[in-house]
């Protein structure tokens, strides 16, 4: 008799349930990949792999729900949300926008040495192209460092304006700081020029799509890390021109020339990096982990700018090591005792491409002492 009551239509799969389960599965899969990739590393690096994964997910969760009609400039890559080569010498904010939108950006530069506002067109993921921008050279600042910009719509009768090209999807605001640890940090905000209509409480299809995209990105993160560090591991202790990042690729700042290299050192070794500066608007050097997170810039010497480095004439000299060897006329970059990591140098609007530095792997005992 029980069989007489069985049957009936099969329950239809629920899209949001499938998307949620996909996200949970992506977390599991990514965690298993991180565990496998770090199996032969130290306990510190093993734990740091999962911290980097959690930071990345936190970063992306912070931008999961977006409102292109009433966008928000969200602080990006703070120390708890590091994601794909953050830069603590910059303060940056991101807002998802509509190509046909009409907005007003307000802010204050604080002690920033340079400010830029860049619009990107994106086909999804990290595929992006800078399509419109304005910077400190043309932005108008008041006596206190405040600025205001109309974004999209028709050009106003006066004031700063930036048109929105077709396919524009996101705007980034960047403040470059010579010393972010002591500088006064500014702010920025974005508002629609015209108050938008009240939207539905939730768009189920849109939410499901966003959650599925988050799952895909989470699943790929360990593979992105592995691919990104492959060249640095294959040819460690040397630098190269990182030309893949030129022209505002992958949401980078247009006009920056990047130099990049990896270190591979024993506990009693150091890496000497020496070179000649090129005239440019701003430059810095920064150390990263194998998981593309900056090292602990809040407490350690892992980053220098043109204002904080001990430049002699136009000559820079850095020593990369787990402890400070006290080398004369050299700035110490703390590896946190990591046997492998990545160094990136950024040169904003250089008058010519910077020369590759001379890099030497040496025993710490053979380094000259501080005079």
Report the pLDDT value the prediction gives residue 8, as an integer from 0 to 100: 64
pLDDT in tens, 330-361: 999 999 999 999 999 999 999 999 999 999 99
Q: Backbone phi, then psi, for 55, in 5-degree steps? A: -60, -40
For residue 312, give the DSSP letter: B
Q: Would you say residue 5 has pLDDT above 60?
A: no
Q: Would you say residue 257 has pLDDT above 60?
A: yes
Please give the model's pTM, rounded to 2 decimal places. 0.92
Q: How confident is the model at residue 371 (pLDDT cuts 50, 70, 90)?
A: very low
Q: How confident is the model at residue 124 (pLDDT cuts 50, 70, 90)?
A: low
Q: Would you say residue 83 has pLDDT above 70?
A: yes
Average pLDDT, the chain: 93
Q: Would you say residue 6 has pLDDT above 70?
A: no
Report the pLDDT value the prediction gives residue 128, as an integer from 0 to 100: 75
Token pair belonging to 235: 């040819």
- Average pLDDT on 288-298 reads 97
Q: Which has more confidence, 5 or 365?
A: 365
Domains and CATH numbers, the chain: 15-192 (no CATH), 235-366 (2.60.120.600)
Report the pLDDT value the prediction gives residue 224, as an integer from 0 to 100: 95
For residue 286, give every residue at least 6 positions away whose Cβ sits within 8 Å of its Cβ, in sequence order, or none.
87, 88, 89, 294, 297, 302, 303, 343, 344, 345, 346
pLDDT in tens, 7-19: 667 777 899 999 9
pLDDT in tens, 182-231: 999 999 999 999 999 999 999 999 999 999 999 999 999 999 999 999 99
Helix (H) or strand (E) holding 244: none
Cβ-contact 83, 225 below 8 angstroms? no
Q: How confident is the model at residue 122 (pLDDT cuts 50, 70, 90)?
A: confident
Tell the residue number behind the tokens 């932005």, with chain if given.
139
In the chain, where do the E strands start and end? 74-75, 90-96, 102-110, 114-124, 127-135, 146-152, 160-162, 168-176, 185-192, 238-241, 256-264, 269-276, 282-288, 303-305, 315-321, 331-334, 340-348, 358-363
Q: How confident is the model at residue 88 (pLDDT cuts 50, 70, 90)?
A: very high
Q: How confident is the model at residue 248 (pLDDT cuts 50, 70, 90)?
A: confident
Nearest to 268 by CA among 337, 314, 200: 337
pLDDT in tens, 51-81: 999 999 999 999 899 999 999 999 999 999 9
Comparing 39-43, 156-160, 364-368, the range with the smallest average pLDDT is 364-368
Burial 52-65 (b: 16+ CB within 10 A, else e): bbebbbebbebbee
Tell the residue number behind the tokens 């734990």, with chain if given.
47
Q: Would you say residue 49 has pLDDT above 50?
A: yes
Cβ-contact 271, 319 below 8 angstroms? yes
């Amino acid at each position: 008799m029980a069989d007489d009551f069985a049957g009936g239509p099969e329950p239809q799969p629920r899209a949001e349930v499938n998307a949620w389960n996909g996200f949970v599965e992506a977390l599991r899969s990514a965690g298993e990949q991180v565990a496998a990739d770090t199996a032969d590393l130290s306990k510190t690096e093993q734990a740091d792999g999962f911290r980097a994964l959690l930071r990345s997910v936190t970063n992306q969760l912070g931008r999961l729900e977006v409102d292109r009609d009433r966008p928000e400039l969200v602080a990006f890559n703070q120390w708890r949300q590091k994601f794909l080569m953050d830069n603590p010498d910059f303060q940056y904010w991101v807002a998802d926008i509509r190509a046909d939108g009409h907005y007003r950006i307000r802010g204050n530069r604080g002690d920033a040495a340079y400010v830029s506002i860049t619009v990107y067109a994106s086909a999804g993921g990290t595929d992006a192209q800078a399509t419109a921008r304005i910077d400190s050279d043309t932005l108008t600042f008041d006596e206190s460092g405040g600025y205001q910009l109309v974004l999209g719509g028709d050009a106003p009768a006066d004031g700063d304006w930036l048109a929105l090209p077709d396919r524009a999807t996101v705007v980034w605001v960047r403040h470059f700081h010579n010393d972010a640890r002591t500088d006064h940090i500014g702010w920025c905000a974005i508002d629609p020029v015209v108050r938008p209509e009240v939207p539905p409480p939730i768009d189920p299809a849109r939410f499901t799509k966003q959650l599925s995209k988050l799952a895909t990105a989470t699943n790929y993160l360990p593979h992105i890390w592995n691919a990104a560090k492959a060249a640095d591991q294959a040819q460690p202790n040397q630098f190269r021109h990182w030309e893949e990042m030129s022209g505002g690729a992958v949401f980078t700042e247009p006009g920056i020339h990047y130099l990049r290299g990896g270190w591979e050192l024993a506990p009693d070794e150091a890496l000497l990096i020496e070179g000649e500066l090129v005239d440019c608007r701003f430059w810095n050097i920064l150390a990263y982990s194998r998981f593309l997170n900056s090292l602990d810039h809040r407490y350690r010497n892992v980053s220098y700018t043109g204002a904080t480095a001990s430049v002699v004439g136009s000559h820079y000299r850095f020593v990369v090591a787990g402890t400070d060897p006290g080398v004369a006329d050299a700035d110490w970059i703390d590896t946190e005792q990591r046997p492998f990591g990545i160094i990136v140098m950024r040169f904003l609007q250089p008058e010519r491409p910077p020369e590759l530095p001379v890099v030497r792997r040496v025993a710490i005992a053979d380094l000259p002492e501080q005079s």
